[in-house]
């Protein structure tokens, strides 16, 4: 089966859906006398971008590398470390993973961890330690990182 | 009154949005106080954000995560250095816990003491308290009802049908249901409980006798830290849809000088019973024989406060802030003169032709009415997108005339002048009400809208 046209073929769509969150670059499926060959560019953005960001058919397109953002989950005072004598959780150039602590926010005398919701390398810090931050304020810019090949 | 008060606040955070936040910011500005607006992520373009000196985003669109998010709001006050929080109406205005947290964080809650809110906020406890203070109450249950109780039907029968299910923590018509007969009782309690839980975080409901064709007449009261409580002239809020007020006026055509004194004094006793501080409202139902019953007390500024401002010349929001800062009331109830008649029409972004379906979206055109005797409190403007997360109140038109007929004439003119395009509004409904013969005669009861305008087609 040669599917040069961009017809909606449920089988191919299904395969693409399976491939979407993986690192697979090429795939050939032979079934009797029909075959499907899929080639994808190496992913330039990490997998944690929500699949809903992409329209069907868009996945095979190379995309620009846009920095990811770690935002403040709370209103309060932001600190890089849990206390002044402790080193900061992260610095520019550090790699962060999903769920990793990147700072704390003091809100109503309680310290709450700020964790990364993205994976990549910290390329810019947008706030200072001790700065007042509002909900949704951008804290760090993160360069998306290719997932390690296993 | 304008003497410098060293205890006056420096910076007030307004824990609300929309028209009431704008109203409070204006009062603060006139008093020389700095203002902090809070906003949700979808409210960046809301007018209150533009009017305030600064604003803080406290969470995403849903109210539980933003305008009801106590840690976020307190934190916003702390990081901006606000020394007082004005809660407006709705949201956290009658939340005892919020008032308590404010107090423990050293931030003044502009409103009554937390104990007063607690005592009136629990409508069941309030009824008991009012009965003790010698204020007539509507017959009903002393305690919240248990939907699984075997006695429930018996209790309801003793009160007699029709009866009302009401949220113990309630107000504003949420968590309220009319029950005509026994078969409706359980479903009504169940729905009222779910509504009450969403609206107030407390599902408790109680039962109350339903009074046929009453008027809803309420009294604004003010109390100071010396224990002085005064009442202001009444507001007639009988024009309602499903217990949501739509049109309010002051004074009421039904209330004579002597009835005003009698009811006003009862309202003062209600305030005194809970050591009431700042501004509040005591609501009564009045039957055709001029018997009045305490319904509830709202421990906050109310949506319809402007009609009282128009007829008395007082600025109630400024008074509220002054009283919260410990200042004294310098006038007596008897000193207040009624300077004319005022009417307020609530313009909601709703489609009256489609069962009042909310009509969020972009306002394409917004041309305000004006001229002598017209005031408009609104957060609307052309280009503003009304979000779907919040209530539908878009504007309040207030008209003031020498007498009721003149106020009506001015309101009719204002409704014609007001142009809102892009969203549906309740303007056509108000035009109908203001042309209705019974309304013009002052024959208004809480079932007026249902009976005369909606032709009995509007559910309950």
In sequence order, the β-bridge partners of residue B377 are B396
Q: Which positions of B are annotated as active-site residues?
A: 300
Contacts of A70 (CB under 8 A, 6+ apart): A96, A102, A114, A116, A117, A118, A138, A139, A140, A142
Which pLDDT score, from 0 to 100, does residue A80 have?
Answer: 95
**Distance between CA atoms of B341 and B343, rounded to whole angstroms?**
7
Q: Do A108 and B57 touch (CB under 8 A)?
A: no
Mean pLDDT of chain B: 94
**Distance between CA atoms of B49 and B35, rounded to whole angstroms?**
10
Interchain CB contact of A136 with B (< 8 Å)? yes
**Distance between CA atoms of B237 and B244, rounded to whole angstroms?**
9
Once rounded to an integer, what is the mean pLDDT over residues A126-147?
92
**Distance between CA atoms of B167 and B270, rounded to whole angstroms?**
20
Give me the torsion for CA of B201, B207, B208, B212, rounded to 10°: 100
Q: Indicate the SS3 state at residue A63.
A: coil
Which pLDDT score, from 0 to 100, does residue A41 have?
Answer: 66
Out of A78-92, B113-127, B154-168, B405-419, pick the least confident. B113-127
* Predicted confidence (pLDDT) per residue in B353-389, tens digit: 999 999 999 999 999 999 999 999 999 999 999 999 9
Q: Indicate the SS3 state at residue A122.
A: strand
Q: Return the axis-axis angle of helices B70-80 and B96-104, rounded to nearest 10°.
A: 30
What is the ipTM for the molecules in this complex? 0.73
pLDDT at A3 over 70: no
pLDDT at A59 over 90: no
Give B279's pLDDT tier (boundaries 50, 70, 90): very high
Interchain CB contact of A127 with B (< 8 Å)? no
Select the residue from A107, A110, A133, A135 to test the B interface by mutation, using most B Cβ atoms within 10 A.
A135
**Distance between CA atoms of B231 and B428, rounded to whole angstroms?**
34
Q: What residues in A contact B71, CB-CB < 8 Å?
A: 74-75, 107-108, 110
Would you say domain A66-150 falls under CATH 2.40.50.100? yes
Residue ranges of domains in chain A: 1-43, 66-150
CA atoms within 13 A on the CB side of A129: 16
Q: Choose among B74, B43, B7: nearest CA to B388.
A: B43
**Distance between CA atoms of B369 and A70, rounded to whole angstroms?**
46
Once rounded to an integer, what is the mean pLDDT over residues B5-22?
96
- DSSP assignment, residue B175? T
In three-state form (DSSP H/G/I as H, E/B as E, the rest C), the secondary structure along A69-114 is EEECCCCEEEECCCCCCCCCCCCCCCEECCCCEEEEEEECCEEEEE
Select the residue from B44, B75, B78, B105 to test the A interface by mutation, using most A Cβ atoms within 10 A.
B75
Give A53's pLDDT tier (boundaries 50, 70, 90): very low
Once rounded to an integer, what is the mean pLDDT over residues B195-214?
89
């Amino acid at each position: 089966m040669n599917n040069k046209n961009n017809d909606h073929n449920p089988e191919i769509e299904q395969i693409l859906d399976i491939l979407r969150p993986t690192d697979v670059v090429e795939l050939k499926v032979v079934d009797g006398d029909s075959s499907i060959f899929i080639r994808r560019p190496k992913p330039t953005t990490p997998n944690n971008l929500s699949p809903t960001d992409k329209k069907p058919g868009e996945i095979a397109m190379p995309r620009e590398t846009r920095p990811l953002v770690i935002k403040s989950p709370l209103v309060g005072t932001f600190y890089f470390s849990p206390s002044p004598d402790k080193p900061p959780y992260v610095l520019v150039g550090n790699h962060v993973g999903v769920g990793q602590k990147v700072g704390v926010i003091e809100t109503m005398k309680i310290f709450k961890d700020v964790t990364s919701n993205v994976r990549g390398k910290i390329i810019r810090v947008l706030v200072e330690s001790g700065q007042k931050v509002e909900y949704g304020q951008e804290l760090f810019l993160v360069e998306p990182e290719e997932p390690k090949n296993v | 009154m304008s003497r410098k008060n060293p205890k006056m606040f420096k910076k007030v955070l307004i824990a609300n949005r929309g028209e009431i936040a704008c109203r409070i910011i204006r009062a603060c500005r006139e008093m020389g106080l700095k203002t902090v607006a809070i906003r949700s992520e979808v409210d960046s373009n809301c007018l209150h954000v533009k009017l305030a000196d600064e604003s803080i985003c406290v969470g995403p669109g849903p109210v539980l995560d933003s305008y009801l998010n106590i840690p976020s709001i307190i934190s916003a006050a702390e990081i901006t250095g606000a020394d007082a929080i004005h809660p407006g109406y709705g949201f956290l205005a009658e939340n005892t816990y919020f008032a308590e947290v404010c107090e423990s964080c050293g931030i003044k809650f502009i409103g009554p003491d937390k104990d007063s809110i607690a005592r009136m906020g629990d409508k069941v406890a309030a009824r008991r308290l009012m009965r003790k203070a010698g204020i007539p109450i509507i017959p009903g249950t002393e305690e919240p009802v248990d939907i699984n109780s075997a006695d429930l039907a018996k209790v309801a029968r003793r009160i007699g049908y029709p009866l009302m299910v009401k949220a113990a923590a309630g107000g504003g018509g949420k968590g309220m249901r009319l029950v005509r007969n026994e078969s409706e009782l359980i479903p009504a309690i169940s729905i009222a409980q779910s509504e009450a839980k969403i609206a107030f975080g407390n599902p408790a409901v109680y039962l109350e006798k339903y009074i046929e064709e009453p008027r809803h007449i309420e009294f604004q009261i003010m109390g100071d830290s010396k224990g002085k409580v005064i009442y202001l002239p009444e507001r007639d809020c009988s024009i309602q849809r499903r217990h949501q007020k739509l049109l309010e006026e002051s004074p009421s055509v039904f209330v004579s000088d002597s009835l005003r004194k009698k009811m006003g004094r009862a309202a003062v006793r209600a305030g005194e019973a809970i050591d009431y501080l700042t501004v509040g409202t005591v609501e009564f139902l009045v039957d055709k024989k001029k018997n009045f019953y305490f319904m509830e007390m709202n421990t906050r500024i109310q949506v319809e406060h402007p009609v009282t401002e128009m007829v008395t010349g007082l600025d109630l929001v400024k008074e509220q802030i002054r009283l919260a800062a410990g200042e004294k009331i310098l006038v007596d109830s008897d000193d207040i003169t009624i300077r004319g008649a005022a009417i307020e029409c609530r313009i909601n972004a709703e489609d009256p032709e489609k069962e009042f379906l909310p009509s969020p979206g972009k306002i394409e055109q917004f041309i305000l009415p004006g001229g002598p005797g017209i005031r408009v409190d609104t957060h609307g403007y052309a280009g503003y997108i009304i979000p779907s997360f919040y209530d539908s109140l878009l504007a309040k038109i207030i008209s003031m005339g020498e007498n009721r007929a003149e106020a009506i004439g001015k309101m009719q003119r204002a409704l014609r002048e007001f142009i809102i395009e892009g969203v549906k509004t309740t303007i056509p409904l108000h035009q109908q009400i203001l042309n209705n013969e019974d309304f013009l005669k002052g024959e208004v009861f809480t079932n007026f809208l249902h009976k005369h305008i909606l032709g009995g087609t509007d559910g309950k």
